[in-house]
């Protein structure tokens, strides 16, 4: 018996399957055929929803960003000092859950610059409001002017993402920078 699904369900199912494959083996080593075979759909349906595999990568990253945003909101609205919240935000656990090493390795390839740039924009759009709130709290607790918290958070977030692309920054390095800033 054939199972009828709405277009939204089919698309979401393909994104979920691609997400799992990308997390395990990266998107370079994942073929459109693997995604469609596992989803049990025709390859043409993939191209109905996604112009290219890069479009699929962008959809997967968008989903990850939504999850990170939800995780961040729990931290932002939770207990703790601004500094403690920053430490939780950049502990790396949440990031590694979604942005696995195989996926990040592929995103950091020279051929993936446009996709990586899009990912940075998505991460910034999803996380900047919450990071701004935590940054403002941390600055106020440190007795510093918090008027530029949004600009500071945006510069920090986008800069971190770009430096992480070239392996010049780790989550531990981020926490060290936060300590310097807030001391």
Ordered structural domains, the chain, with CATH = 58-182 (1.10.357)
Residue 17, pLDDT score: 96
CA 134 → CA 17, 32, 76, 77, 169, distances in Å?
34, 40, 6, 9, 21
pLDDT digits (tens, 9 = 90+) for 15-54: 999 999 999 999 999 999 999 999 999 999 999 999 999 9
pLDDT at 97 (0 to 100): 76
90 contacts: CB under 8 Å, gap ≥ 6: 171, 174, 175, 178
Residue 109 DSSP class: S
49 CB-contact burial (10 Å; exposed 0-12 / middle 13-18 / buried 19+): middle
pLDDT at 168 over 80: no
Question: How much is the pTM?
Answer: 0.81
Sign of CA dihedral 79, 80, 81, 85: negative
Q: What pLDDT sits at residue 1?
A: 60
Q: How confident is the model at residue 174, as a pLDDT? A: 75
Do residues 37 and 13 make contact, with C-beta atoms less than 8 angstroms apart? no
């Amino acid at each position: 018996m054939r199972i009828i699904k709405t277009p939204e369900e089919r698309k979401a199912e393909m994104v979920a399957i691609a997400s799992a494959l990308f997390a395990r083996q990266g998107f370079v080593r994942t073929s459109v055929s693997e995604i469609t075979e596992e989803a049990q759909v025709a390859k043409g349906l993939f191209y109905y929803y996604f112009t290219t595999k890069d479009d699929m990568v962008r959809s997967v990253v968008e989903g990850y960003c939504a999850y990170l945003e939800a995780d961040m909101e729990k931290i932002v609205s939770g207990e703790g000092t601004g500094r403690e919240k920053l430490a939780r935000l950049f502990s790396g656990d949440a990031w590694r859950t979604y942005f696995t090493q195989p996926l990040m390795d592929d995103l950091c390839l020279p051929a993936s610059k446009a996709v990586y740039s899009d990912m940075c924009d998505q991460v910034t759009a999803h996380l900047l409001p919450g990071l701004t709130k935590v940054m403002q709290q941390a600055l106020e607790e440190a007795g510093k002017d918090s008027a530029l918290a949004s600009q500071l958070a945006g510069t920090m977030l986008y800069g971190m993402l770009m430096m992480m692309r070239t392996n010049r920054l780790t989550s531990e390095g981020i926490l060290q920078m936060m300590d310097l800033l807030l001391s």
